[in-house]
Chain A
Amino acid sequence: MKILSSYSIKGGVGKTALAVNLAFAFREAGHRTLLIDLDPQGAASFYFRVDSAEKFRMRDSQSLADGLRRNIRESDFHGLDIIPSNLGYRHFDILLDGMAKRRRQLRKVLEEFKPDYDVILMDCPPNITLLSENVFRASDAILVPVIPTVLSQRTLEQLTSFFQDEDLPGEMLRPFFSMVQKRNKMHRETMDELPAYHPGFLNTVIPFSADVEKMGIHRKPLLAYSHACEAAKAYRALCDEILSQTSP
């Protein structure tokens, strides 16, 4: 089982679109996939038409694992399950704070799902908290969407320094370009330069697409309603690239 997370400090960069479509692509490739919507905004849950999760008590790692398991919902697509968002997740930090080995608790919890899934993909809230740190320590790779702009470049650098400061393994950071407009000169220039400073940069580029924005209308992953559009192909290519490097 591989544990991946979709993460960015900055919002609006295509993080949830990545989580939703990548989860769908993994399932298409025959991997039993669990998507965990950790973002209290619950956009991923919304796309899958799943109600927010029932509240459950989070006293210790076992009750957390039980609560998550009780909230697993089968999506409309065989082989893809989702744990929907829950406003209670905002208390995750407090919970984790009270635990021993508080920075590594999540990994222990997720290990329990090993027999049932090949891939666990977490959609994370856009901030750096104790939960984010747990996510970093639980993940085998952290997928970071980067819009090729100066601001995004800055947040990627912030994240990289955080990893250095906290002694986290920087090679787990796997940035890739998201919402790319090829006609935009600044996008092109950033794309030429940035990967040189980040060895883990993935090759696949997700283009900007109006089809992706329609996910909110269709309330399903792009790959489920616009199978052959450029963005869909890009998500599938990204899935292949990840699989070729970290075979689940």
Chain B
Amino acid sequence: MGFNVEVRMKKEESVRLVLPGNLGPESLQEEWSVESHQQETKVLTFWDTFEWGLWFGGYILYSCGEVYYLCSREGGWLGTVLCEEKAEGSRRFWSDFETEPMRAKLKGMLGLRGLMPVAEGTFRLRQCDLRNEMGKIVCRMECTTVSAGKRGKEELLRSCLVMPLHGYETEAARVVDYLALHGAKTFGDGPLEVLLRHANREPVEYTLRPAFGLKTETPARDAISRIVRAILEIANRNVPGILDDLDTEFLHDYRICLRKIRSVLSLVKGVFPAEGTRRMRKILGDLARQTNRLRDLDVYLLARDEYLELLPPGLRPALEEMFEDFSSEREKEVRRVVSKLRAPANRRLLREIGEYFSEKTPHEPSPTSDLPVGPLVFRCIYKRYRKIRSISAGINAETPDEVVHQLRIECKKLRYLLEFFNELIPLEEGAAMQKLLRRLQGRLGEFNDASVQQKSLLDYWEQKKSGSGVALGLGGLISILYQRQKQTRGFIGQALDGFCSGPTASTFKHTFKRPSSVPAIKVKRSEQQ
């Protein structure tokens, strides 16, 4: 592309300057003859994901006309163009791109995330040549002004790139000196930063595991409120993405957030009055349930290629039919979920949770509300770990699936506790325990997925009762999933050995076991809900 060819050719030596409003190449006319080329105007749309995967990956993706360009990011400045792709129609996921370099680069940074426009700007570019008294070009400049939107008038940024010619570096240095003397700066926000600020956007690292600023002695109610507020905030941030159905991860994360809040209320008992806790857990459960089917469908559809690959080609068309059914059901389900989320009743429920855990809302004291959170949750963690050990002791090849399922749930609870109260746990021990737990959870997750998926494929068959082709495809897939489930069983044993072994147990014991001086808190069953 014509734009920034110069940047690529002489990048190492070129100097970029941010210019004040009254300074430009014309200011250099006393010393050099300035020859301006025709101005080029381009409208650039910048793309990124909700998580700013490209920005934090060190890249900028923009489109101009029908062409997408991926370039390196130098601060908020556009660096070298690494690959480009002409695209008729839109591109949302990495897999929508067709050229291999683009797909390969984007895959890691986007994952399942969809692209959305994050800024749009009009770039006016003008190349200028500076000539000496012999008429020889001794320095080149590329001047750029950036304004917001498609026909933006207000200049948000004026900059120029001073590009020396080989053998004429002294002249370029004099140009830079002159401009610097008259207010030009070698630093400053680049076009993308300026446009993002104008659009009131700021790349922020996104995480489902924020820090809550907890200390061991923080009163439990204060600690749990902080956790709930932070996670609720993440849940709320995900809602617009669900409404736009930009990608599947908004709903996924929204559900995780609801589940986490619900868990923290039951894992650390007695922190809030029983009645309020019950009410909050019910709301959170109801909100999550509304989206169950949509998430199931997302999971199936995301696994589409993997499933099809599992079957011999002859059986694949039958399965395609199922995925088409899922796909059209998903369309309906999205509409249903969106209307639910938009409904005032739902919004009221989310608000109610926010208000309940607000700093300003007073609540009656409850059995554990004022206790220091550290010892309280350490006791919970240790209890959870012992429960996992006791379940796992009874697991063998004949154990019913339900027990493995129960183990999975317990592990998830422990994982949440370790995550929520990560700040209170010694770094090294915390990391080691989480690593082993993650491995175990991975295996349990595979086992559970294989088992749940068999069931839902059978359910689909029950409902559909369609031709024998579909039956054959489903049958094939179910037997593969069954084999996979059986195979995973063996791996679970290995992962359990690691997690429940003597050394891990003693790490848990010396990290979390309550010193005998701290009295145990008895919470009545009615207050535990």
Residue contact A73 to B135, C-beta cutoff 8 Å: no
Residue contact A219 to B135, C-beta cutoff 8 Å: yes
Residue contact A74 to B167, C-beta cutoff 8 Å: yes
Q: How far is the CB of B502 from chain A (nearest CB, A)?
A: 63
Identify which of B134, B137, B167 contacts A71 (C-beta below 8 A).
B167
What are the residues of chain A within 8 A of B9 when measuring CB–CB? 78
Q: Which residue of A lies closest to B5 (CB)?
A: A78
Cα-based distance from A81 to B134 in the complex (angstroms):
17
What are the residues of chain A within 8 A of B167 when measuring CB–CB? 71-74, 81
Residue contact B134 to A49, C-beta cutoff 8 Å: yes
What are the residues of chain B within 8 A of A78 when measuring CB–CB? 9
Q: Which residue of A lies closest to B137 (CB)?
A: A76
Cα-based distance from A81 to B256 in the complex (angstroms):
62
Q: B168 an interface residue at 8 Å Cβ cutoff?
A: yes
Chain B stretch 180-207: residues in CB contact (< 8 A) with chain A? none
Q: Chain B, 3-25, contact with A by CB distance < 8 Å: what is the 0/1 string? A: 00000010000000000000000
Q: Chain B, 131-175, contact with A by CB distance < 8 Å: what is the 0/1 string? A: 000111100000000000000000000000000011110000000
Q: Which residue of A lies closest to B167 (CB)?
A: A73
Q: How many residues of B contact A (CB 8 A)?
A: 10
Cα-based distance from A49 to B168 in the complex (angstroms):
13
Identify which of A48, A71, A73 contacts B168 (C-beta below 8 A).
A73
Q: A168 an interface residue at 8 Å Cβ cutoff?
A: no
Chain A stretch 50-93: residues in CB contact (< 8 A) with chain B? 50-51, 71-74, 76, 78, 81
Q: How far is the CB of B418 from chain A (nearest CB, A)?
A: 56
Residue contact B136 to A50, C-beta cutoff 8 Å: yes
Q: How far is the CB of A222 from chain B (nearest CB, A)?
A: 17
Q: Which residue of A lies closest to B133 (CB)?
A: A49
Identify which of A48, A51, A74 contacts B166 (C-beta below 8 A).
A74
Cα-based distance from A73 to B170 in the complex (angstroms):
12
Chain A stretch 219-246: residues in CB contact (< 8 A) with chain B? 219
Residue contact A72 to B136, C-beta cutoff 8 Å: no
Cα-based distance from A48 to B135 in the complex (angstroms):
9
Residue contact A73 to B166, C-beta cutoff 8 Å: yes
Q: Which residue of A lies closest to B129 (CB)?
A: A76
Residue contact B135 to A74, C-beta cutoff 8 Å: no
What are the residues of chain B within 8 A of A74 when measuring CB–CB? 165-168
**Cβ-closest 3 pairs across A and B:** A73-B167, A49-B136, A74-B166
16 contacts between A and B (CB under 8 A): A49-B134, A72-B166, A72-B167, A73-B165, A73-B166, A73-B167, A74-B165, A74-B166, A74-B167, A74-B168, A76-B129, A76-B136, A78-B9, A81-B166, A81-B167, A219-B135
Task: Supply 11 further A-B pairs (C-beta < 8 A) apart from A49-B135, A73-B166.
Answer: A48-B136, A49-B136, A73-B167, A74-B165, A74-B167, A74-B168, A76-B129, A76-B136, A76-B137, A81-B166, A219-B135
